Amino acid sequence: MAAGTLNPPKLKGTPQFVFPWRGGRTPLFPKLLALVISCVAFGLLITTVRIRVETPEKSTPRKASVIFLGDDLESRALSLRAREGGPFPSRFEPSQWEGLAELEMTAMNAVRFQPQAYVPALQDLPAENQLQPLQLAAKGELFFPKRSLASRAAPELANRKLAPALYPLSGISNELLPRELPPFLPAVDAAMSSASWRFLVRVNPEGVVAECVSLEKGGEPGAPELEAWLHRVQFKADPSKPFRWIAVGIEFTNQPADGPDSN
């Protein structure tokens, strides 16, 4: 013991050590029971409990970039570079390949039927002349009679006048046009006879003109007179059709002044 330390007095019969470092003997069964319970609990936990461990995904912002390209050469080069270097490779289109036309032409020529060139065989002409000499006519001898010009009298225009005549345009044939037309009393001048007149006519089942509309030059002089003349024209009756629309044209021809059978 070091100098200066105090040794407290001990009671008689007190052991030398304060604590009992060596424990007493305890039964072994409680220890084995505790070990078995611990093993069973650990086995149940390790076989039934599943701990799901997931790796957190990196959150990236949803954004994109858009580049508008034109039709110039530089824009086409950038577009080709974007398609080749992008995440989706461009698909090869055979129809856009420049050598497709030449390849098709080569394949067609390979399977096309090519006949051999025809080379006619040359033959020598006969030595004698097969052409017969022409028989020329004697001078002054005539083979055909003389042509006599028949004298034709000039038509008498004094007894003729301009009168309207019909020709079909639509909805009627030339055979169904009326053969007899009513006389046209108003005077016909050069402007009226040279103009092109076309009318849309509505005919009833009896062949009578119910309506008449001018399709061309309706406001020109002579149109009202021609419309009034058309209302007096009698067409062929057709009971199967209640009303029908036809289109006719009017032209002026020289006719005898007293009728078509006056001469």
The rounded mean pLDDT for the chain is 78
pLDDT at 204 over 50: yes
Q: What is the pLDDT of residue 37?
A: 92
Average pLDDT over residues 15-26: 62
pLDDT at 262 over 50: no
Runs of H (alpha helix) within the chain: 29-48, 73-85, 100-111, 190-194, 223-230
pLDDT (tens digit per residue) in 64-108: 777 777 788 888 888 778 777 777 766 667 777 778 888 888 888
Q: What is the pLDDT of residue 218?
A: 67
* Side-chain-facing half-sphere of 190: CA atoms under 13 Å: 0
Distances in whole angstroms, Cα of residue 108 to Cα of each of 97, 98, 99, 116, 244: 18, 17, 14, 18, 60
pLDDT at 136 over 50: yes
pLDDT at 6 over 60: no
pLDDT at 4 over 60: no
pLDDT at 263 over 60: no
Kindly report the backbone phi and psi dihedral angles of residue 111, in degrees, each rounded to the nearest multiple of 5, phi listed first.
-100, -5
Kindly report the backbone phi and psi dihedral angles of residue 103, in degrees, each rounded to the nearest multiple of 5, phi listed first.
-65, -40
Q: What angle do CA 71, 74, 78 make, to 5 degrees?
A: 95
pLDDT (tens digit per residue) in 102-130: 888 888 888 888 788 888 888 887 766 66
Largest CA distance in the chain: 198
Q: What is the pLDDT of residue 16?
A: 60
Q: Which two tokens stand for residue 131?
A: 């052409």
- Can you tell me the distance from the alpha carbon of 74 to that of 67, in angstroms, rounded to the nearest whole number? 13
